[in-house]
């Protein structure tokens, strides 16, 4: 007789997850970019990523299997292995070299970016939740102007980030060995503060008088995104996946706070005199976005190496993403509005052995690694004299299984070598980005959220 059904999760690991998630909440106000153009709108919205997806030319919604937690396409959660709870942490570092006709500058930014968890809850259903970046602001620009008698020093800086706390669910409509169709959705809560500051200082031998203007956007809002995928096996050695993710029009609600101070010693906040502090409601519209992607997998002929047989696979990826425009409903912020922008992505992945866990005892080191290459080009929402910025980059990366125990745990590295520019040639950025993503899972003998029953 069947007595009961329940799910279990080791409490020490669950509390470790909550602790790490709380730590990321504490980091939510820090910047994860050093991009000057993050002054505009909600900051840098294209910097977020993952070690796997970055290495494949920023293909995102069309990259998934049972060992990958893909929060970019919520329909994919039901592809996770039964009992194999996955959680993921990503670290990002970017080194940028900026230049224009007169100056050059270097900037580097390291940051913890996301912490997400996903698991299968029933045969056709999956779930994920966590904290991930939505946008970021981080820049610092200075100049000194000689007025004829004295000099004025100006410092412009921005900081802050918008975080995305999400909960996602997916359901498999068709679940057959060679044909699968699923839909899913993420419900997200956006929160965070973005700040722009302008400091002016009178440079003389006797005083450091100056002023400070600070504009802060305190965002609290909800949004949703809907995803789907279709998988079809084509014969014995070929398969295709089609993916789509749609984000409806989004209304962003926030408070806009403006502060103005003067001081005889601008470097000492305790000496500030308040001139003006105002606080008012702010709202903006982010128009709909649509992402389409496909992947094609080819199982290559098997071949023998000494006493072992390898089963290699090649996967090809392509996607097109159209992201919506951003505009404010009131004319409160200078340079806030952003144009819609588009990205084309291409990538390929080679796996010497697709059944790594099953054949781990016989594989050599290089036969356990996934090798990835990619390229993307995109426009950016920022403009100069109504001309949009452009970005293009080559990418590469590797996936390393963690085989201390028999599990789906792995480390993924994605490197990006690219540049940003504008057609007028007044500005250029060359950058190198590196992302390290760790996917952690229980071993085969320590399944989490395992379904138990008594007969």
Q: Is residue 182 very low, low, confident or very high in pLDDT (cuts 50, 70, 90)?
A: very high
**pLDDT over threshold 60, residue 447:** no
User: Could you tell me if residue 83 is left (phi over 0), alpha (psi between -120 and 50 degrees) or otherwise beta?
Assistant: left
Q: Count of CB atoms within 10 A of residue 26's CB?
A: 8
Average pLDDT over residues 239-258: 95
Taking only the tens place, the pLDDT of each residue in 38-65 is: 888 888 876 678 899 999 999 999 999 8
**pLDDT over threshold 80, residue 83:** no
For 182, half-sphere exposure in the C-beta direction (CA atoms, 13 angstrom radius) is: 28
pLDDT at residue 403, rounded to an integer? 65
Average pLDDT over residues 141-167: 84
Cβ neighbours of residue 12 under 8 Å, at least 6 residues apart?
none
Cβ neighbours of residue 107 under 8 Å, at least 6 residues apart?
34, 95, 96, 98
pLDDT at residue 15, rounded to an integer? 43
Q: Is residue 409 very low, low, confident or very high in pLDDT (cuts 50, 70, 90)?
A: confident
Q: Enumerate the β-bridge partners of residue 436.
A: 91, 413
Cβ neighbours of residue 227 under 8 Å, at least 6 residues apart?
61, 72, 73, 74, 75, 76, 170, 183, 184, 185, 186, 243, 244, 245, 246
* Residues of the chain above pLDDT 70, percent: 84
Contact 56, 317 (CB under 8 A): yes
pLDDT at residue 1, rounded to an integer? 39
Architecture of domain 5-453: Beta Barrel (2.40)
Q: What is the mean pLDDT of the chain?
A: 84
Average pLDDT over residues 275-284: 93
Taking only the tens place, the pLDDT of each residue in 3-34 is: 333 344 444 454 454 445 445 444 444 445 66
- Strand (E) or helix (H) holding 151: strand 151-175
**pLDDT over threshold 70, residue 93:** yes
Q: Which residue has the higher pLDDT, 454 or 269?
A: 269
Average pLDDT over residues 146-158: 80
Least confident of 173-177, 278-282, 423-427: 423-427
Cα(76)–Cα(125) distance, rounded to whole angstroms?
A: 10
Of 431, 428, 429, 427, nearest in space to 417 by CA:
431
Least confident of 81-85, 92-96, 176-180, 330-334: 81-85
Average pLDDT over residues 359-364: 74
Average pLDDT over residues 165-187: 95
Cβ neighbours of residue 329 under 8 Å, at least 6 residues apart?
283, 284, 285
Parse the chain into domains and list their residue ranges: 5-453
Taking only the tens place, the pLDDT of each residue in 420-430 is: 988 777 778 89
* Residues of the chain above pLDDT 90, percent: 46
Q: Which residue has the higher pLDDT, 97 or 444?
A: 97
């Amino acid at each position: 007789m069947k007595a009961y059904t329940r799910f279990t999760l080791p409490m020490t690991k669950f509390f470790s997850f909550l602790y790490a998630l709380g730590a990321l909440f504490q980091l939510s106000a820090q910047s994860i970019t050093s991009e000057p153009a993050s002054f505009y709108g909600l900051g840098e919205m294209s910097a977020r990523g993952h070690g796997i997806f970055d290495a494949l030319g920023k293909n995102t919604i069309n990259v998934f299997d049972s060992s990958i937690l893909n929060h970019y396409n919520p329909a994919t959660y039901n592809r996770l292995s039964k009992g194999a709870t996955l959680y993921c942490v990503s670290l990002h570092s970017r080194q940028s070299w900026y230049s224009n006709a007169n100056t050059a500058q270097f900037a580097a930014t390291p940051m913890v970016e996301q912490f997400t968890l996903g698991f299968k809850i029933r045969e056709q259903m999956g779930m994920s939740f966590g904290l991930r970046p939505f946008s970021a602001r981080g820049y610092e620009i200075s100049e000194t102007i000689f007025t004829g008698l004295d000099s004025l020093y100006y410092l412009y800086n921005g900081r802050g980030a918008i975080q995305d706390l999400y909960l996602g669910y997916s359901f498999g409509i068709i679940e057959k060995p060679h044909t699968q169709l699923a839909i899913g959705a993420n419900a997200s809560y956006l929160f965070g503060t973005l700040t722009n500051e302008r400091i002016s200082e009178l440079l003389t031998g006797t005083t450091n008088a100056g002023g400070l203007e600070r504009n802060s956007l305190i965002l609290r809002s909800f949004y949703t995104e809907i995803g789907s995928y279709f998988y079809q096996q084509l014969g014995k050695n070929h398969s295709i996946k089609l993916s789509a993710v749609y984000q409806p029009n989004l209304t962003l609600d926030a408070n806009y706070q403006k502060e103005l101070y003067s001081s005889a010693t601008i470097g000492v906040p305790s000496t500030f005199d308040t001139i003006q502090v105002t606080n008012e409601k702010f709202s903006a519209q982010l128009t709909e976005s649509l992402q389409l992607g496909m992947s094609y997998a080819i199982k290559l002929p098997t071949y023998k190496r000494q006493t072992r047989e390898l089963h290699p696979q090649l996967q090809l990826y392509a996607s097109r993403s159209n992201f919506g425009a951003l505009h404010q409903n009131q004319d409160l912020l200078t340079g806030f509005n952003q144009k819609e922008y588009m990205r084309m992505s291409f990538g390929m992945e080679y796996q010497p052995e697709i059944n790594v866990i099953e054949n781990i005892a016989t594989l050599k080191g290089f036969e356990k690694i996934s090798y990835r290459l990619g390229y993307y080009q995109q426009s950016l929402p920022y403009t100069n004299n109504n001309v949009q910025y452009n970005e293009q980059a080559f990418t590469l990366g590797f996936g390393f299984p963690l085989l201390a125990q028999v599990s789906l745990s792995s480390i993924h590295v994605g490197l990006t070598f690219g540049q940003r520019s504008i057609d007028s040639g007044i500005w250029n950025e060359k950058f190198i980005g590196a992302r390290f993503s760790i996917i952690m899972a229980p071993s085969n003998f320590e399944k989490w959220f395992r379904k138990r029953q008594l007969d």
